[in-house]
Structure 1
Amino acid sequence: MKKIVLAVGLAGMACAATPAMAAVPQLNVTCADGIEVHADEGGPVYIDGEEAQLEVFNDDYSEASLDGTTISIAINTDGTAGVSYTGPGGANGICSPAAGDQAASTGSAKILFFNAECPGGISVHADEGGPVYLNGKEAEFTSYSESYFEAKEGEVTVSVMSMADGTLDISYTGPGRANGICKLQ
């Protein structure tokens, strides 16, 4: 009897010691400060080509950290990944699918009506179904998934992620590596 209890206990400890990686999908994204992120399904996660420390919180959320940069990976209800980052000096933002990545050719994001203000005096307005305007000028729109799109006008790119609870996460990148989180009005 003691052998069975010991075997079950050791098996349980082995499972607990094995890092869970279900929350990590295959992805290739670029973040605002030019940070390149790559992950294979189940991990590992690489930040600028170096393997990052991965922490899986549950099946829908994980974080990868390296040298003061943390990449947050959240799985949306539609199965797409929402990826954001926090870096040194308070840098933060939403990461976008890398150029040429398969995700860039799929999905059709639903544009909701919203108004937002971004740091640096950047105003964003979207009509339901589009178009999107940055500082009053119609922006070029690119849909990457059902829940994520970008609007670009000049050197400013606004990234919009529709979260599972219906809220919007909006960030921007601009000239000189400017970036930040936009506030809904």
Structure 2
Amino acid sequence: MAQRLLIMGPQGVGKGTQAALLSEHYGIPAISTGDIFRYNLKNGTELGKQAQSYMNKGELVPDQLTNAVVEDRLGMDDVKGGWILDGYPRSAPQVEALDAMLEHLDTPLSAVVALDADRDVLMARMQKRAQIEGRADDTPEAIAKRLDVYAKETEPLLQTYADRGLLIKVNGVGEINDISASIIADLDARS
């Protein structure tokens, strides 16, 4: 059975790391919305040009355009056998848009993996990442603000997926391979 997964959780919880490991295990692409935007920008696609016009003004790309970019990506040939979507949906309107896309593509969602960790652990991880990667945008204030936005706007979406019986909650603290093994065991038990 094809795995079509969402991986959700606050910044610094290890979504990208786990998405890459799950991608390798199941042989399906890990898709981050950031990567989709970068691809469209780099290749000068119509969607990329539209996104660039907002980014040049320092504005967030609106949901309608984000939804179009995600739908375009989920319609590509390499995702026919499944996918892992990281960074989307982030809001209730995006959940509705994703539901409509998946219905249109006749590709139901398999599960939603929600990684979690205490706020102090996330703050420490993000500050360490900022030092290692030299990321100027990862100030303690900026990190705290992004965690607050996640808690307010995205975390409530987990209940929607729990109500649908799709949610797998996983502690994002521990050995990376132990966390993936736990996720894989939960996913395989559902198949």
TM-score, L = length of structure 1: 0.28
Q: RCO greater where, 1 or 2, for CA within 8 Å and sep 6 or more?
A: 2
User: Which is helix-richer, 1 or 2?
Assistant: 2
Higher Cα Rg: structure 1 or 2?
1
TM-score, L = length of structure 2: 0.27
